[in-house]
Amino acid sequence: MIGDNVWLGGGVIVCPGVTIGADTVVGAGSVVVRDLPAGVLAVGNPARIVRHLVDGPAAVDGPAAVDGPAAQE
Protein backbone atom coordinates (compact mmCIF):
# COMPACT_ATOMS: atom_id res chain seq x y z
CA MET A 1 0.00 0.00 0.00
CA ILE A 2 1.35 3.40 -0.98
CA GLY A 3 -0.05 6.49 0.78
CA ASP A 4 -1.02 9.86 -0.67
CA ASN A 5 1.64 12.27 -1.98
CA VAL A 6 4.44 9.67 -1.98
CA TRP A 7 7.39 10.27 -4.30
CA LEU A 8 9.35 7.27 -5.58
CA GLY A 9 12.65 7.90 -7.34
CA GLY A 10 13.59 6.07 -10.52
CA GLY A 11 14.29 2.35 -10.20
CA VAL A 12 12.77 1.97 -6.72
CA ILE A 13 11.72 -1.57 -5.80
CA VAL A 14 8.90 -1.97 -3.27
CA CYS A 15 8.63 -5.53 -1.97
CA PRO A 16 5.21 -7.19 -1.65
CA GLY A 17 3.25 -6.41 1.50
CA VAL A 18 5.18 -3.22 2.32
CA THR A 19 3.29 -0.06 3.32
CA ILE A 20 4.65 3.42 2.59
CA GLY A 21 3.03 6.22 4.60
CA ALA A 22 1.72 9.48 3.17
CA ASP A 23 4.12 12.34 2.29
CA THR A 24 7.15 10.02 2.15
CA VAL A 25 10.01 10.30 -0.35
CA VAL A 26 12.02 7.23 -1.42
CA GLY A 27 15.35 7.90 -3.15
CA ALA A 28 16.22 6.55 -6.59
CA GLY A 29 17.36 2.93 -6.70
CA SER A 30 16.19 2.15 -3.17
CA VAL A 31 14.78 -1.23 -2.20
CA VAL A 32 11.93 -0.94 0.32
CA VAL A 33 11.73 -4.16 2.32
CA ARG A 34 9.97 -2.86 5.47
CA ASP A 35 7.11 -0.46 6.16
CA LEU A 36 7.96 3.25 6.08
CA PRO A 37 6.04 5.73 8.25
CA ALA A 38 4.49 8.94 6.96
CA GLY A 39 6.64 12.02 6.35
CA VAL A 40 10.14 10.59 5.99
CA LEU A 41 12.97 10.45 3.46
CA ALA A 42 14.30 6.93 2.94
CA VAL A 43 17.22 5.80 0.74
CA GLY A 44 19.41 2.78 0.16
CA ASN A 45 19.35 -0.98 -0.17
CA PRO A 46 17.60 -1.79 2.07
CA ALA A 47 15.83 1.58 2.34
CA ARG A 48 16.59 3.33 5.63
CA ILE A 49 15.08 6.49 7.05
CA VAL A 50 17.62 9.31 6.85
CA ARG A 51 15.40 12.26 7.70
CA HIS A 52 11.99 13.19 9.01
CA LEU A 53 10.50 15.76 6.65
CA VAL A 54 9.32 19.19 7.80
CA ASP A 55 5.84 19.18 9.26
CA GLY A 56 3.75 22.34 9.34
CA PRO A 57 3.49 25.60 7.37
CA ALA A 58 6.98 25.42 5.84
CA ALA A 59 6.11 22.15 4.13
CA VAL A 60 3.35 23.83 2.13
CA ASP A 61 4.21 27.52 1.86
CA GLY A 62 8.00 27.64 2.07
CA PRO A 63 10.24 29.59 4.48
CA ALA A 64 8.20 32.81 4.24
CA ALA A 65 5.32 31.14 6.09
CA VAL A 66 7.56 30.54 9.09
CA ASP A 67 9.96 33.49 9.04
CA GLY A 68 7.76 36.18 7.45
CA PRO A 69 8.43 38.42 4.43
CA ALA A 70 11.93 39.41 5.66
CA ALA A 71 13.18 35.87 4.98
CA GLN A 72 12.70 36.38 1.24
CA GLU A 73 15.01 39.42 1.02
pTM exceeding 0.85: no
State which amino acid sits at residue 45. N
pLDDT in the model for residue 59 = 53
Under a CB-based contact definition with an 8 Å cutoff, are residues 31 and 42 in contact?
no
Half-sphere exposure of 49 (CA within 13 A, CB side): 13
Instruction: Please check the confidence at residue 11 and state whether its pLDDT lies above 50.
Output: yes
Contacts of 16 (CB under 8 A, 6+ apart): none
Q: Give the tens place of pLDDT for each residue, 30-63.
A: 999 999 999 999 999 999 999 999 765 555 555 5
